[in-house]
Amino acid sequence: MFKIKYNVDDSLQHHKAHIVTKRFHEQPSFDYSETFSLVVQQTTIHIVLIVALSCYWSIHQININNNFLYGDLGEMILMVQPPRFETTDRFRVCKLHKVIYGLKQAPRSWFHNLTAILSSFGFSSTKSDSLLFVKFHKSYTMMILIYIDDIIITRTSSCDIQALISFLHQHFALKYLRRFITSWI
**Separation between Cα atoms, residue 20 and residue 42, nearest integer Å:** 29
**Separation between Cα atoms, residue 139 and residue 141, nearest integer Å:** 7
pLDDT tens profile 14-39 = 776 655 555 545 555 554 555 567 78
Kindly tell me if the per-residue pLDDT of 169 is higher than 80: yes
Task: Report which listed range, 65-79, 84-98, 132-146, is most confident.
Answer: 132-146
pLDDT value for 185: 43
- Please check whether residue 14 lies inside any domain of the structure: yes
Q: How many domains does the chain have?
A: 1
- Please check whether residue 185 lies inside any domain of the structure: no
* Number of other residues whose CB lies within 10 A of the CB of residue 62: 21
Helical spans, DSSP H, in 70-123: 106-120
Q: Of 148, 153, 177, whose CA–CA distance to 70 is shortest?
A: 148
Q: What is the number of H-type helices and E-type strands within the chain?
A: 3, 10
Query: Phi-psi category of 139—alpha, beta or left, where left has phi over 0 and alpha has psi -120 to 50?
Result: alpha
- Please check whether residue 151 lies inside any domain of the structure: yes
- Please check whether residue 29 lies inside any domain of the structure: yes
pLDDT tier, 45 (very low <50, low <70, confident <90, very high otherwise): very high
The conformation of residue 22, written as its DSSP 8-state character, comes to -
- Please check whether residue 24 lies inside any domain of the structure: yes
The domain containing residue 133 runs over which residues? Answer: 2-180
- Please check whether residue 18 lies inside any domain of the structure: yes
- Please check whether residue 34 lies inside any domain of the structure: yes
